[in-house]
Amino acid sequence: MAARTYDVIVIGAGPTGENVAARTVRGGLSTVIVESELVGGECSYWACMPSKALLRSPQALAAARAVDGARQGATGALDAAAVLARRDRFASHWKDDGQVQWLDATKIDLVRGHGRLAGPRRVAVTAADGSVVELTARHAVVLATGTRAAMPPIPGLAETKPWTSREATSAHAAPRRLVVLGGGVVACEMATAWHALGTAEVTILQRAARLLPTTEPFAGELLAAAFAARGITVRLNANTTGVARQADGAVAVTLADGARVAADQILVATGREPNTDDVGLDTIGLPAGGWLAVDPSLRVTAVAEGWLYAAGDLNRRALLTHMGKYQARACGDVIAARAAGRADLSATPWSAHADTADDAAVPQVIFTEPEIAAVGLTEQDARRRGLRVRAVDYDIGWVAGAKLYADGYAGRARMVVDEDRRVIVGMTLVGPAVGEMIHAATIAVVGAVPLDRLWHAVPSYPTISELWLRLLETYGL
């Protein structure tokens, strides 16, 4: 058994793990990263990048067709084969050579294989050929193994070999009929993508009373209306009781009310679960398979001596790639500071007492048609936290820049204001291209910019960003 010692060991070479390692190396610490699949992780090959590559081409075509003059030139059909080929390029054809070169250039060592904790500060890595490398950390071990698609216990579902987000983002042909279980981000984005790529019948079965239940209610309502106009069927309050693959290969889905839905493929997008069932938590006295609670500096609270950290999805603070990378940068800086004997973290951007952005200032873009972008708290969430808030709504289509962007631009914005502090604590935008507008709101929320000061941030005319002026005017400024 080979043995090596490093300052820091990172298990998981997705975006979170890569960023942790880059920060610890920058802090002068020798670092090794362990990966059992592809360096770059879920986001690079089966999530963010391939899914957005699938969605971008239909969005570009729709944008052209929304403007008179361009519409007349955009008369051809979407080239599905070209879209899939572009997706393959963005997924690097599921090869990680480029990511490995980046590790080398950043001076991060790589050990391929399945990494499991083998006691305090120790990790055993089993390679594909069965050989084992034992790693020891002087300072810290970081778990950054992310999540996987959760499979609900529906009779017959697992036996049908359904798509998860991995198959949905990497498939090379559109099924004629697709049933989607779930009504969250993955479900809505993949329904959008495959309908555009040629799936004739798409049916979304959502157990909840609306799509995207963690967003403002109007976001899910507007998306459901857009789906209906496009021919995508949405069934709300739909409880699936059974799934079966028939002799001809078709999938039969049975609902609690007795209704049946037939499809050629089924996509399960009902949530995520942590990849902690086989990372050796039992060797340090923790149960396998659960989420890992962390303190404000991302150390696992249940582990003595503070050597184990969990960054990204595993700690369940914010299951988004960009938030995992945010936590990773903080985690790496904190480990480097502590290794240098600096117990006071105030010299780093992250502090144990910081008002961190992965709590009440999380931004997200949902790349459906229309796009949905949000940051911070919904009105309901803000009230649950005891804030005295006021919600201000505005029709984005009334803004001059929106009218120029698309004929008949349809969209809506909501600004949630903490009335006691006179700052924005939440913003939701629905409409074409709103994803590129959300960062301004993110800055306002994270910076707690007073409305009276924000009034002096003059938006350029005629851009859609003039929406900011209209929201403040509607508020009363």
Q: What are 184's two structure tokens?
A: 């969250």
**Spatial CA neighbour of 142 closest among 361, 300, 269, 347:** 300
State the average pLDDT over residues 405-427.
97
Q: Tell me how far apart the alpha carbons of residues 93 and 33 are, in angstroms, rounded to a whole number.
A: 22
CATH homologous superfamily of 2-40+96-148+274-347 = FAD/NAD(P)-binding domain (3.50.50.60)
**Spatial CA neighbour of 141 closest among 279, 323, 1, 343:** 279
Q: What are 27-83's pLDDT values in tens digits?
A: 999 999 999 999 999 999 999 999 999 999 999 999 999 999 999 999 999 999 999
Q: Where in the chain are the domains?
A: 2-40+96-148+274-347, 158-270, 370-475
State the average pLDDT over residues 250-263.
95
CA angle 179, 180, 186 (to 5 degrees): 150
**Do 370-475 and 158-270 have the same topology in CATH?**
no
Q: What are 332-379's pLDDT values in tens digits?
A: 999 999 999 887 666 666 665 467 788 899 999 999 999 999 999 999
Q: What are 259's two structure tokens?
A: 């209704």
CATH fold for domain 370-475: Enolase-like; domain 1 (3.30.390)
**Residue 141's pLDDT band (cuts 50, 70, 90):** very high
Q: Tell me how far apart the alpha carbons of residues 389 and 415 are, in angstroms, rounded to a whole number.
A: 10
Strand 240-245 relative to strand 132-143, pairing: unpaired
pLDDT value of residue 1: 65
Q: Tell me how far apart the alpha carbons of residues 283 and 118 are, in angstroms, rounded to a whole number.
A: 6
Identify the three-state secondary structure at position 473.
helix
pLDDT value of residue 358: 84
Cis? peptide before 462, omega within 30° of 0: yes
Q: Tell me how far apart the alpha carbons of residues 50 and 92 are, in angstroms, rounded to a whole number.
A: 10
Is residue 253 within 8 A of residue 205, CB to CB? The reply is yes
Q: 203 pairs with which residues across the strands?
A: 179, 233
Edge-first strand order for the sheet with 240-245 is 240-245, 251-255, 260-263
pLDDT value of residue 447: 93
**Segments of 258-303 assigned E as strands:** 260-263, 265-268, 272-274
Q: Tell me how far apart the alpha carbons of residues 38 and 96 are, in angstroms, rounded to a whole number.
A: 6
Q: 181 pairs with which residues across the strands?
A: 205, 268
Please state the separation of Cα 285 from the chain's center in Å: 31
Tell which CATH architecture fits domain 158-270: 3-Layer(bba) Sandwich (3.50)
Q: Tell me how far apart the alpha carbons of residues 31 and 22 are, in angstroms, rounded to a whole number.
A: 9
**Segments of 270-350 assigned E as strands:** 272-274, 308-310
With a pLDDT cut of 90, the percent of the chain lying above it is 93
Is residue 309 within 8 A of residue 315, CB to CB? The reply is no
Q: Tell me how far apart the alpha carbons of residues 5 and 32 are, in angstroms, rounded to a whole number.
A: 9
**DSSP code for 247:** T
Residue 423's identity, in one-letter code, is V
- Please, what sign has the CA dihedral across residues 304, 306, 311, 315? positive
Residue 406 has pLDDT above 80, yes or no: yes
**Spatial CA neighbour of 370 closest among 215, 263, 236, 164:** 215
For the ranges 3-12, 189-198, 340-349, 448-457, which has the lowest average pLDDT? Answer: 340-349
What does pTM read for this prediction?
0.94
Q: Tell me how far apart the alpha carbons of residues 176 and 191 are, in angstroms, rounded to a whole number.
A: 12
Q: Tell me how far apart the alpha carbons of residues 446 and 426 are, in angstroms, rounded to a whole number.
A: 10
pLDDT value of residue 296: 85
Q: Tell me how far apart the alpha carbons of residues 56 and 53 are, in angstroms, rounded to a whole number.
A: 5
**Spatial CA neighbour of 20 closest among 3, 37, 4, 6:** 6
Q: What are 190's two structure tokens?
A: 């993949």
Q: Tell me how far apart the alpha carbons of residues 373 and 435 are, in angstroms, rounded to a whole number.
A: 5
Q: What are 183-197's pLDDT values in tens digits?
A: 999 999 999 999 999
